[in-house]
Amino acid sequence: MKLRIKKEELKSGISIAERIASRSISLPILKNISIKAEKDLINISATDLEIGVEWWGSAKTDKTGELVVPSSILSGFINLLPDAEIELTSNKEDLNINCSNYNTQIKGFNPEEFPIIPEVAEKESVLVDIQYLCKSLSCVVDIPTFSTTRPEISGILFKFDKNILKIVATDSYRLGEKTIKLNSSVKNPFFFILPQKSAKEIISIFGETEGDIRIVFGANQVLFELLMTNIKHPKIRLISRQIEGDYPNYEEIIPKKNQITAILERSDLLNQIKAAGLFSGKSGEVIFKIEPTKNKIEIVSQNPEAGEYNSTLLGKITGKKETISFNYRYLVDGILSIKTSEVLFEINSSSEPGVLKPTKGIDFLYIIMPIKA
Amino acid sequence: MKLRIKKEELKSGISIAERIASRSISLPILKNISIKAEKDLINISATDLEIGVEWWGSAKTDKTGELVVPSSILSGFINLLPDAEIELTSNKEDLNINCSNYNTQIKGFNPEEFPIIPEVAEKESVLVDIQYLCKSLSCVVDIPTFSTTRPEISGILFKFDKNILKIVATDSYRLGEKTIKLNSSVKNPFFFILPQKSAKEIISIFGETEGDIRIVFGANQVLFELLMTNIKHPKIRLISRQIEGDYPNYEEIIPKKNQITAILERSDLLNQIKAAGLFSGKSGEVIFKIEPTKNKIEIVSQNPEAGEYNSTLLGKITGKKETISFNYRYLVDGILSIKTSEVLFEINSSSEPGVLKPTKGIDFLYIIMPIKA
């Protein structure tokens, strides 16, 4: 193997592969990344057996071949190099790097020991704007908590029907649902459950890129693929396993009606809930005393060790008088995912879930269970 | 107690006191801060018994008094308030805070349980520009390592003689000495050893301030005092204990002569040493093969697990041919404290300490022990 590549180009590929390689602790070979010299291209890949990533960049290839080297030492070294052309040459299993007056040899491993990144047998695929997908995923990605008894809610549901993709996450205390409009319709409805860490890597790896990403649905895996801008060749591919099982029928818990609606200024609501949270103790309980006739909500919290909080929030409120308690942390998470300057808060009674929504668009829904008295 | 103060003013005072209060784990009362309403002023203080800080800000005082409240909850709450006037009122031992539509009561403690910040019996004092002092301290503050057997080198030596202040730190493998010119001379030479964490707090607390700081030397304590810009009243005072004992006679180890001098480009030297460090293994050993006749240094490192590094650094080099090894981490630290674009590296032999210096000015000296073969 022998190729030449610009430093910045190589650095961007290694940084993507390193994200996946550096997480592996069980199997030492997974701490490595694979470098392949192809015709006019370099391919860099890594896997932790749950997620695989592949990246391609342009290179001047003198001799094709493959090498497997430790990701941390390669990444650390490349970052220190001047902004110039780098020559990568194989020396048996080792990698020689020459750039300006920096010369090094990194000890490598037998490429045959490195796991193969699986191909996805395509059942169906859709195209989505990558920025739109990453921003939508960000609204729900932190909601799941790891559960061994209910592995399906440890992941994020991707539910496709006609030209609608719904991305859903819950930890059984709250649930977020983001709706994405696709440019074309899928033939048959389908869904998959993506592991939370795969979703986080998608946001990190594709968050700074542009264009349409192709989501390819397979039997046990999902592929997220971004093409190069100039030629029809993959630029980045992320292959993730799916979580097996059925997602709970969450649509049942979405309230069909609402007896109280409150339109509240977002930043004021957020700050008041955070402030009340400081005095809420371990339970995180913050009490909302809703008075529609006065168009105000009194926000109250107290605990004997810290003190007490009592403030008033004004808004446009309709419905009956009610007192309801929530965990302030869940409220904060929901409000942070709403980007409109006002928030719509829908409530039925002190024992039924509340719903937070943006005031414009109906593309996000956040359902939160109350703390029952 | 009753007073009114602007949010930003209060926030800046609390953030300074919180730095000290939040560190205390042994004695719960130390997690609190004291708030005193004085005439036209508010005083906020905290201590961990090793370091005490006091801060004054302007306030409209309606009633003088003192309160002691938990620093973390107060700080968290004040940060969430809108940018408006805040009213602080005592309610027995508790603190009522009112600001816009935010109202809270924080549970406080008996001020008599709060330790008194000691006064320093002044033996001698000097004035130094605070930015000059903080930047100088930054060059040596990370050098000491905690030592129970030699507590004096766990701290930083402040050595005053005539109009010169020398700030010195060592961990017995390397030593940094920064020289500061004072505007006036001290009457008699004196020194004190400041604990490393006090030095770090000085940089953090005074790093963004301006003006002359007064260093007051007492029997067991040192006071760093910054005055207000408009009136002759303290703005911030930091009182630290001194480390007892004599500092080692470090001037003995400063080489009196040098057989080899090399003038090297700083950023290139730094990057090459970092790159060589990646391949140096646990010892951190990087080998310098100095060839004055070719005006070059070959930088080499290797270990069987990672690979090997071999690069060439050009410079202006005089003296004899020599091979010498150093721990790359110590070299990196020293070079980072030198701000000139070139670095002067003085060496005698493979078993004697090397010296790094800026090429302009003689205000910084970094002595580093070689790794002996």
Place of tokens 């009956």: A320
pLDDT at A334 over 70: yes
Quote the Cα angle for A144-A182-A185, to 5°. 115
**Cβ B317 vs Cβ B237: under 8 Å:** no
Q: Are strands B190-195 and B155-161 parallel, antiparallel or unpaired?
A: antiparallel
Quick one: pLDDT at residue B24?
63
Test mutation, A96, A102, A280, chain B, max B CBs within 10 A: A102
Q: Minimal Cα–Cα distance from A84 to chain B, Å?
A: 14
Task: Evaluate whether residue B239 is within a structural domain.
Answer: yes
**A273: confidence class by pLDDT, cuts 50, 70, 90:** very high
Of A73, A272, A306, the CB nearest to B306: A73
Cβ contacts of residue A256 below 8 Å, gap of 6+? Answer: none
Containing domain of residue B322, as a range?
A: 254-368
Quick one: pLDDT at residue A366?
98
Of A76, A94, A274, the CB nearest to B307: A94
Test mutation, A104, A107, A303, A328, chain B, max B CBs within 10 A: A104
**Cβ B306 vs Cβ B281: under 8 Å:** yes
pLDDT at A279 over 70: yes
Task: Evaluate whether residue A88 is within a structural domain.
Answer: yes
Q: Of A33, A4, A16, give the one whose Cα is nearest residue A108.
A: A33
pLDDT at A224 over 90: yes
Of B82, B102, B278, the CB nearest to A77: B278
Q: Are residues B129 and B188 in the same domain?
A: yes
**Cβ A31 vs Cβ A216: under 8 Å:** no
Q: Minimal Cα–Cα distance from B316 to chain A, Å?
A: 17
- Classify residue B248 by burial, with Cβ atoms within 10 Å: 0-12, 13-18, 19+: middle
Q: Are residues A265 and A237 in the same domain?
A: no
Instruction: State the helix-helix crossing angle for A71-80 and A7-21, rounded to 10 degrees.
Output: 150
pLDDT tens digit sequence for B178-232: 999 998 999 999 999 999 999 999 999 999 999 999 999 998 999 999 999 888 9
Residue B297: list chain A partners with CB under 8 A: none
Quick one: pLDDT at residue A23?
67
CB–CB contact B103 A310 (8 Å): yes
Of B102, B105, B310, the CB nearest to A275: B102
Q: Are residues B105 and B148 in the same domain?
A: no
Task: Evaluate whether residue A373 is within a structural domain.
Answer: no
Quick one: pLDDT at residue B26?
77
**A372: confidence class by pLDDT, cuts 50, 70, 90:** confident
Q: Are residues A280 and A237 in the same domain?
A: no
In this structure, chain A runs to a length of: 373
CB–CB contact B80 A274 (8 Å): yes
Q: What is the mean pLDDT of chain B?
A: 95
Task: Evaluate whether residue B128 is within a structural domain.
Answer: yes
Q: Minimal Cα–Cα distance from B132 to chain A, Å?
A: 31
pLDDT at A86 over 90: yes
Q: Are residues A134 and A63 in the same domain?
A: no
Quick one: pLDDT at residue A179?
97
What number is the average pLDDT over the span A155-160? Answer: 98
Q: What is the mean pLDDT of chain A?
A: 95
CB–CB contact B104 A308 (8 Å): yes
Interface membership of B279 toward A (CB under 8 Å): yes
d(CA B119, CA B121) in angstroms, rounded, equals 7
Of B101, B102, B278, the CB nearest to A76: B278
Q: Are residues A237 and A273 in the same domain?
A: no
pLDDT at A34 over 70: yes
Q: Which of B69, B93, B113 is the last residue of a domain?
A: B113
**Cβ A198 vs Cβ A50: under 8 Å:** yes
Q: Are residues A24 and A42 in the same domain?
A: yes
Quick one: pLDDT at residue A36?
98
**Cβ A64 vs Cβ A37: under 8 Å:** yes
d(CA A178, CA A4) in angstroms, rounded, equals 44
pLDDT tens digit sequence for B267-291: 999 999 999 999 998 999 999 999 9
Q: Of A168, A261, A165, A169, give the one whose Cα is nearest residue A213.
A: A165
Q: Of A104, A15, A100, A93, give the one whose Cα is nearest residue A57.
A: A15
Interface membership of B50 toward A (CB under 8 Å): no
pLDDT at A292 over 80: yes
What number is the average pLDDT over the span B8-20? Answer: 96
Q: Are residues B93 and B151 in the same domain?
A: no
B47-85: b or e for each residue (b if 16 or more CB lie within 10 Å)?
A: bbeebbbbbbbebebeeebbbbbbbebbbbbbebbeeee
CB–CB contact B80 A104 (8 Å): no
pLDDT tens digit sequence for B137-184: 999 999 999 888 999 999 999 999 999 999 999 999 999 999 999 989
| Chain B contacts in chain A segment 61-120 (CB below 8 A) | 70, 73, 76-77, 80-82, 94-95, 101-107
Q: Which of B60, B84, B113 is the last residue of a domain?
A: B113
Of A73, A304, A310, the CB nearest to B278: A73
Q: Name B190's bridge partners.
A: B160
pLDDT at A74 over 80: yes
Residue A70: list chain B partners with CB under 8 A: 306
What number is the average pLDDT over the span A74-79? Answer: 96
Which pair of structure tokens corresponds to residue A120? Answer: 């996805």
CATH number of the structural domain spanning residue B350:
3.10.150.10
**What residue in B sits closest to A104 (Cα-Cα)?**
B309
Q: Are residues B359 and B293 in the same domain?
A: yes
Q: Are residues A129 and A146 in the same domain?
A: yes
| 3 state SS for chain A | CEEEEEHHHHHHHHHHHHHHHCCCCCCHHHHEEEEEEECCEEEEEEECCCEEEEEEEECEEEECEEEEEEHHHHHHHHHHCCCCEEEEEEECCEEEEEECCEEEEECCECHHHCCCCCCCCCCEEEEEEHHHHHHHHHCCCCCCCCCCCCHHHHEEEEEEECCEEEEEEECCCEEEEEEEECCCCCCCCEEEEEEHHHHHHHHHHHCCCCCEEEEEECCCEEEEEEECCCCCCEEEEEEEECCCCCCCCHHHHCCCCCCEEEEEEHHHHHHHHHHHHHCCCCCCEEEEEEEHHHCEEEEEEEECCCEEEEEEEEEEEECCCEEEEEEHHHHHHHHHCCCCCEEEEEECCCCCCEEEEECCCCCEEEEECCECC
Q: Of B372, B370, B373, give the one whose Cα is nearest residue B173.
A: B370
Residue B265: list chain A partners with CB under 8 A: none
Residue A306: list chain B partners with CB under 8 A: 70, 73, 106-107
Test mutation, A69, A264, A278, chain B, max B CBs within 10 A: A278
**What residue in B sits closest to A281 (Cα-Cα)?**
B73
Which pair of structure tokens corresponds to residue A234? Answer: 């993959």
Quick one: pLDDT at residue B23?
67
pLDDT at B80 over 80: yes
Interface membership of A307 toward B (CB under 8 Å): yes
Q: Are residues A236 and A264 in the same domain?
A: no
Residue B77: list chain A partners with CB under 8 A: 275, 278
pLDDT tens digit sequence for A99-123: 998 999 999 999 999 999 989 998 8
pLDDT at B123 over 70: yes
Q: Name B353's bridge partners.
A: none
Quick one: pLDDT at residue B373?
74
Task: Evaluate whether residue A7 is within a structural domain.
Answer: yes
Task: Evaluate whether residue A99 is within a structural domain.
Answer: yes
Q: Which of B113, B133, B149 is the last residue of a domain?
A: B113
The ipTM estimated for the assembled molecules is 0.85
Task: Evaluate whether residue B119 is within a structural domain.
Answer: no
Cβ contacts of residue A25 below 8 Å, gap of 6+? Answer: none
Per the structure, the count of domains in chain A is 3
Q: Minimal Cα–Cα distance from A314 to chain B, Å?
A: 10
Quick one: pLDDT at residue B207?
95
Which pair of structure tokens corresponds to residue A18? Answer: 């390193």
Q: Minimal Cα–Cα distance from B146 to chain A, Å?
A: 29
Q: Are residues B28 and B101 in the same domain?
A: yes
Interface membership of B304 toward A (CB under 8 Å): yes
**What residue in A sits closest to B270 (Cα-Cα)?**
A80
Residue B311: list chain A partners with CB under 8 A: 101-104
d(CA A273, CA B76) in angstroms, rounded, equals 12
Task: Evaluate whether residue A345 is within a structural domain.
Answer: yes
Q: For residue B353, what is the DSSP state? A: -
